[in-house]
């Protein structure tokens, strides 16, 4: 379904006339140039759809139109409406302004940082404020005031809030009141159409009992949005949900122009991959299905994008999105897997979709598995749960790594850094993808366990420093991962790992690279621990060439402090601070390394110093890429650059930790 735009409509971000796109979860209309920025942010920030060329459920389109017409944009630009902001120099971009950096920086501040949203006067630690907002949302959805509910959601109200007195959720209330547009908004923000109330009734049941048949049918469609969208992508048909909830496309559907699939991939590798997919637990399977859903959305929007752009313009700031943008709410492992989906060719991707649809049907019929609506804003997912299987044993990891290393050796001629060239230089098979997923899942689980042991390197260093000053005899706790900034979000970033570094030094947690002893440290974290213990045991006496433990700790604290400054700059998108921060880190690393002999007796010290120096040098190289390039040069991919910078910082902190641990242990012998 499409609609005819009114002449008075303008882009919510730059006021350009005749906007062709919409941001569904923000309730605004946007132009092509601003849409290119929205798409680069990812669906967790902005869910975009073309107003004329995309398929629309009628009530969803009506919901967006109602919000746009009733001032939803003022929610996201609240503080800009204050006259004092004009005096501060903060202004909204004009249509003539450049996309980069003017429009892009404004859009990121507006939607990603929520810089202009009305701030609550206070937010209680016990969550009372959020609870009050959610109760207001629970009451407001009975009315037709969409903008009020969107404002509450923007302030932190929970779409899946279960009212303790009423015994149901906001979606139950909207369904009972027949407010179909409110239901659409709640589902966009992650409300579960299948959530039971205190009596076991779902919102669909509430709508039917109240006589709102159309609303009940729409909620059923929302419940199966994920599988419906996958099926429609391949064969252009959706189930009616009266005679069944699933359509499994067959080979006869291959002629659909939108997905030029000549035949399914029926190779032995594809069959083996299908078995691996069936063996995934429900959580991993749901994550894979949601990631494929997002990739379908990206490919469909790409097709619309290519159709609607002015190809006579040779140089344009509008850019496509070559792979799924990073979602910081997901683990680094999952983000890497999501980006690799762009490398599937049409046949492989169709095979994966059909396997997912078939297994979804099997799981629901056999185990009662129900899918979420594939909305990344869903707050119902427990952030504390691991993104990947946490029960994999070390033996499983080792065997899986052996298989993966063999596969990587065969593919080494096309292994590049994770950028657009890596995603376009050739397809990746489903078998390879699932093997990488499983191997990295085990590694991710080990990293998460290590993160629980010590949550912050600075705290551990302070403890060690106090212990040394007191002359204590207890050894330091062993840890292999940490949060440099102490925040959950940066903790997720700290385990990110691109496929290939510019340097030969590999991280212990990188299971996607080929093993090369001549270019890497060549030992896992467990082997490092054993090696250090053996060396220490053989020595029997402290190594007199090692520096004072307190000096090492002081230098490490300086390194950590500078890393924290760099990570804050990354969080705040201050890319111009990357170079000075990297220089401070390099200087602190040089001072720390100067404490140690040039040829240390312990091999573990030599390896740690080598990792420390190479990572600091690599960090400088990466940070220099943030410097504005000459006119005509390719634009900098700041998302990828930030990932690389964070990984370098992690390697530096890891090497510093190793040196502190070794020095403390040796001096206490």
pLDDT band for position 261 (50/70/90)?
very low
Closest CA to 67 of 145, 155, 156, 183: 145
- Region 572-586: mean pLDDT is 87
pTM (predicted TM-score): 0.58
CA of 498: how far to CAs of 180, 456, 511, in Å? 44, 23, 10
Strands in 21-23's sheet, in edge-to-edge order, are: 28-30, 21-23, 48-50
Query: What proportion of the chain, given as a percentage, has pLDDT over 70?
Result: 65
Beta strand 48-50 with 28-30 is: unpaired
Domain boundaries, the chain: 21-235, 268-365, 549-668
- 493 pLDDT more than 60: no
Handedness of CA 114, 115, 118, 122 (dihedral sign): positive
Most confident of 84-93, 448-457, 595-604, 635-644: 595-604
CATH topology of domain 549-668: 1.20.120
Closest CA to 181 of 97, 279, 58: 58
Most confident of 127-131, 253-257, 357-361, 533-537: 357-361
Average pLDDT across the chain, whole number: 74
Angle between helices 332-340 and 430-453 (to 10 degrees): 170
pLDDT band for position 256 (50/70/90)?
very low
How far apart are the C-alpha atoms of 2 and 49, rounded to whole Å? Answer: 11
Q: What is the pLDDT of residue 5?
A: 46
Tell me the helix, strand and coil percentages in the chain, rounded to 5: 55, 0, 40
pLDDT band for position 268 (50/70/90)?
confident
Say whether 123 sits in a helix, a strand or coil: coil
How far apart are the C-alpha atoms of 31 and 12, rounded to whole Å? Answer: 8
Query: Nearest-5° angle of CA 126, CA 127, CA 129?
Result: 125
- 367 pLDDT more than 80: no
**Please, are residues 387 and 330 in contact by the beta-carbon 8 Å criterion?**
yes
pLDDT band for position 571 (50/70/90)?
confident
CATH class of 21-235: mainly alpha
pLDDT band for position 148 (50/70/90)?
very high
**Could you read off the pLDDT of 412-444 as tens digits, one per residue?**
333 333 333 333 334 455 655 565 555 555 555
Most confident of 117-131, 454-468, 603-617: 603-617
**Where would I find the H helices in 157-202?**
170-177, 180-188
Radius of gyration of the chain (CA): 27
**Please, are residues 246 and 231 in contact by the beta-carbon 8 Å criterion?**
yes
Q: What is the pLDDT of residue 488?
A: 30
pLDDT band for position 660 (50/70/90)?
confident
Q: What is the pLDDT of residue 669?
A: 62
Most confident of 160-164, 376-380, 620-624: 160-164
Torsion, Cα 407 412 415 421, to 10 degrees, reads -120
Say whether 48 sits in a helix, a strand or coil: strand
Q: Which of 450 and 17 is assigned the larger pLDDT?
A: 17
Q: What is the pLDDT of residue 436?
A: 55
Q: What is the pLDDT of residue 416?
A: 31
- Region 249-276: mean pLDDT is 62
pLDDT band for position 136 (50/70/90)?
very high
Closest CA to 31 of 17, 44, 41, 42: 17
Extended beta strands in 12-163, E state:
21-23, 28-30, 48-50
Q: What is the pLDDT of residue 654?
A: 85
């Amino acid at each position: 379904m499409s609609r005819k735009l009114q002449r008075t409509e303008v882009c919510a971000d730059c006021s350009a006339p005749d906007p062709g796109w919409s941001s569904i979860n923000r309730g605004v209309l946007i132009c092509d140039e601003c849409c290119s920025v929205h798409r680069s942010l990812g669906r967790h920030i902005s869910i975009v759809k073309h107003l004329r060329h995309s398929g629309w459920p009628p009530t969803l389109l009506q919901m967006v139109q109602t919000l746009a017409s009733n001032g939803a944009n003022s929610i996201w630009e609240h503080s800009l409406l204050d006259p004092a902001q004009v005096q501060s120099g903060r202004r909204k971009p004009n249509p003539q302004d450049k996309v980069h950096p003017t429009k892009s920086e404004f859009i990121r501040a507006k939607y990603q940082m929520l810089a202009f949203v009305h701030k609550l006067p206070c937010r209680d630690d016990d969550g009372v404020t959020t609870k009050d907002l959610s109760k207001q949302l629970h009451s407001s959805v009975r009315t037709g005031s969409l903008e009020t509910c969107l404002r509450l959601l923007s302030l932190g109200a929970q779409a899946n809030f279960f009212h303790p007195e009423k015994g149901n959720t906001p979606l139950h209330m909207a369904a009972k009141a027949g407010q179909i547009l409110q239901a659409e908004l709640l589902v966009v923000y992650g409300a579960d159409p299948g959530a039971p109330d205190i009596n076991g009734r779902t919102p669909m049941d509430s709508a039917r009992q109240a006589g709102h048949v159309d609303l009940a049918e729409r909620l059923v469609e929302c419940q199966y949005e994920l599988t419906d969208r996958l099926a429609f992508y391949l064969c252009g048909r959706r189930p009616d949900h009266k005679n069944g909830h699933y359509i499994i496309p067959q080979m006869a559907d291959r002629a659909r122009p939108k997905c030029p699939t000549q035949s399914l991939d029926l190779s032995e590798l594809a069959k083996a991959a299908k078995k691996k997919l069936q063996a995934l637990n429900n959580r991993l399977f749901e994550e894979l299905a949601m990631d494929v859903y997002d990739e379908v959305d990206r490919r469909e929007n790409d097709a619309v994008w290519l159709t609607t752009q002015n190809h006579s313009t040779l140089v344009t700031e509008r850019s496509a999105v070559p792979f799924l943008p990073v979602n910081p709410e997901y683990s680094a492992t999952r983000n890497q897997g999501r980006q690799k989906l762009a490398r599937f060719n049409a046949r492989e991707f169709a095979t994966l979709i059909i396997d997912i649809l078939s297994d979804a049907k099997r799981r629901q019929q056999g185990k009662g598995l129900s899918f979420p609506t594939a909305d990344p804003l869903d707050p119902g997912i427990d952030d504390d749960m691991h993104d990947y299987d946490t029960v994999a044993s070390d033996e499983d990891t080792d065997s899986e790594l052996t298989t993966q290393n063999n596969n990587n050796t065969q593919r080494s001629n096309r292994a590049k850094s994770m950028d657009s060239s890596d995603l376009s230089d050739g397809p990746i098979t489903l078998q390879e993808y699932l093997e990488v997923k499983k191997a990295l899942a085990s590694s991710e689980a080990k990293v998460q366990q290590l993160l629980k042991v010590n949550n912050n390197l600075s705290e551990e260093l302070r403890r060690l420093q106090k212990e040394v000053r007191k002359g204590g005899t207890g050894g330091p706790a062993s840890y292999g991962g940490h949060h440099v900034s102490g925040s959950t979000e940066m903790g997720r970033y700290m385990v990110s790992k691109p496929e290939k570094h510019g340097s030969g030094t590999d991280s212990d947690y990188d299971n996607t690279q080929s093993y090369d002893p001549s270019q890497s440290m060549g030992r896992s974290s467990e082997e490092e621990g054993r090696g250090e213990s053996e060396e220490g045991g053989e020595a029997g006496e402290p190594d007199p060439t090692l520096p004072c433990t307190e000096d090492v700790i002081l230098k490490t604290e300086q390194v950590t402090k500078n890393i924290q400054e760099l990570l804050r700059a990354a969080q705040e998108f201050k890319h111009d601070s990357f170079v000075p921060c990297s220089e401070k880190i390099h200087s602190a690393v040089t001072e720390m390394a100067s404490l140690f002999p040039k040829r240390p007796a312990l091999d573990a010290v030599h390896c740690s110093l080598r990792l420390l120096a190479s990572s600091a040098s690599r960090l400088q190289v990466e940070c220099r890429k943030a410097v504005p390039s000459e006119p005509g040069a390719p634009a900098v991919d700041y998302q990828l650059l930030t990932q690389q910078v964070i990984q370098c910082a992690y390697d530096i902190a890891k090497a510093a930790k190793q040196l502190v641990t070794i020095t403390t242990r040796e001096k206490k012998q």
